[in-house]
Copies of this chain bind each other. A is one copy, B any other.
């Protein structure tokens, strides 16, 4: 009797989707914490007269994310677009801290 390879059950669509949904909950909560941190960065920059955009910091983040993506088996170009998608929102929020919307004249 020879050892046979272990038999894995076939994928089940509902089970895969449940795992994807679990990951999305984790992603969303990490993003919520990330925006709390960048909000504090925004307040720090405002209090210290620093601009919203820090090109050198962004450049370092993009270089780092490309390396990390390769290590994690992700397309580095997609990972960079992903980070850019988040950073654009962060910069918009930092700008909004500087220029809060005018109160409406009505009411």
Residues of B within 8 A of A26 (CB): 30
The one of B13, B28, B36 that contacts A69, using a Cβ cutoff of 8 Å? B28
> How many monomers of this protein are in the complex?
2
Verify A37–B20 contact, CB threshold 8 A. yes
Q: Measured between alpha carbons, how far is A37 from B26 in the docked complex, in Å? A: 15
Q: Does A79 sit within 8 A of B, measured CB to CB?
A: yes
A44 touches B74 (CB 8 A): no
Residue from the list B11, B29, B74, B85 in contact with A40, Cβ < 8 A: B11
List chain A positions with a Cβ less than 8 A from chain B. Answer: 11, 13, 16-17, 19-21, 23-38, 40-41, 43-44, 57, 61, 64-65, 68-69, 72-74, 78-79, 82-83, 85-86, 89
